[in-house]
Amino acid sequence: MGLITDLKDSIRRVTDGLFSATEPKRIGIYGPPNAGKTTLANRIARDWTGDAVGPESRIPHETRRARRKENVEIERNGRTVTIDIVDTPGVTTKVDYTEFLEHDMEKDDAVRRSREATEGVAEAMHWLREDVDGVIYVLDSTKDPISQVNTMLIGIIESQDLPVLIFANKTDLDDSNVQRIVNAYPQHQVVPLSALEGDNMDEVYGKIAEYFA
Amino acid sequence: MPEATPTDGPEPGDDGVQIDLVSGERMDGLTSMEKIRLILDGVRDGNIVILEQGLSPDEESKLIEVTMTEISPDEFNGIEIETYPQSGSSDGGFLGKLMGRSSGGSKKLTVIGPANRIETLHKDETLISALVSRR
């Protein structure tokens, strides 16, 4: 009995090794709405594959479906990591269609957008529980990082023992405050960047290669 | 005798705010979905629900997911939820995990209300200050 169990364990270790060497890790890009997740996903995808992931917008909830860009091969400091980037809708606990009316949207469009947004958030939560191997958590460094959504999501990610990098985005803006994010989440690696301007992307790719290899 | 539910008893007046303080002991006997139902049923009635011991990270994840499926224009905009932020390293440590204590802020007092009626004014590691509007 013990011999069979040992044999099964050995086979599993070998097959696990084979899969981990060939199958790309699915890295979810999470964060609150308008943190710059799609801008980052597009920056990474364009830098390494030449294609974009999806449209960017200043209107919240532009991304209302999780989008996956497969087989993005990132090479840094002698390390190569192949990942699938999963750009997810911004997570929130509330969606009010009247907020979209402020962006010159008709009521029918605003209601439709809010309905799609709620579906997208539910989908993002499902991906987080079931389908990602690691997380890039994107925060707008001009905003207070200790929001309830951030606290809850980082707690959920920690509880699943997923590797996580926190990206302090929008460092090109005058009121960016990266230290506030470092102080809020001292247990995690925080990397400053501007996905829009492409600032500090060398360190970004170095950390991705290091954390998700 | 049927067990009392948080919404039993006299109805609050039109300008009143009902607050349900739910003990950890009461929540311990419920499944994850029963907890989420208890919270959302109360919040959708316009109540403020205060949990003595909060939810686990997995339950918080499901609460967000179920809340999203129930949002309806002009009827229910979702929830406002507040717990104290974690201080310092929050992974609970090796012993915490070994003892089954999950990380991520469970066992912390949690305030949940309808998004259109509760607004957080201030939050730090020791204080949550919220403004609750009337109906």
Structure tokens at A108: 């029918």
Distance from CA of B1 to the nearest CA of A (A): 36
Give B62-85 pLDDT, tens digit per residue.
999 999 999 998 899 999 999 876
CA atoms within 13 A on the CB side of A99: 14
pLDDT at B7 over 90: no
Quote the ipTM score. 0.82
- The overall average pLDDT reported for chain A is 88
Please list every residue in chain A whose beta carbon sits closer than 8 Å to the beta carbon of residue B91.
Answer: 158, 187
C-beta of residue A75 within 8 angstroms of C-beta of residue A47: no
Average confidence (pLDDT) over B30-47? 96
Looking at per-residue pLDDT, the higher value among B47 and A4 belongs to B47
Residues forming beta bridges with residue A135, ordered by sequence position: A28, A164
Would you tell me how many other CB atoms lie within 10 Å of the CB of residue B12?
16
A92, A121, A151 ranked by CB distance to B83: nearest: A151
Distance between CA B43 and CA B107 in Å, rounded?
20
Closest CA to A158 of A134, A191, A124: A134
**Beta strands B110-114; B79-83: pairing state:** antiparallel
Burial of B122 (0-12, 13-18, 19+ CB in 10 A): exposed
Q: A44 vs chain B: nearest CA distance in angstroms? A: 27
pLDDT > 70: percent of chain B: 71
Residue A164 CB contacts under 8 Å (≥ 6 apart), including other chains? A134, A135, A136, A137, A154, A157, A158, A188
| Token digits of residue A26 | 């699915």
Quick: pLDDT tens for A37-89.
Answer: 999 999 999 999 988 887 777 777 777 788 889 999 999 888 889 999 999 99
Q: Mean pLDDT, to the nearest integer, of A161-183? A: 97
Give pLDDT tens digits for B93-134: 444 444 444 444 457 899 999 999 898 888 777 888 889 887
Q: How confident is the model at residue B12 (pLDDT cuts 50, 70, 90)?
A: low
User: Are A91 and A153 within 8 A, CB to CB?
Assistant: yes
**Between chains, do B68 and A148 touch, taking CB under 8 Å as contact?**
no
In a 3-state reduction of DSSP, which class is residue B19? strand
Instruction: Give, as one character, the DSSP assignment of residue A182.
Output: H
- Cβ-based contacts of B67 with chain A (< 8 Å): 93
Q: What is the pLDDT of residues B13-34, one digit of tens each?
A: 567 889 999 999 999 999 999 9
Instruction: Give the tokens for residue B119.
Output: 């607004």
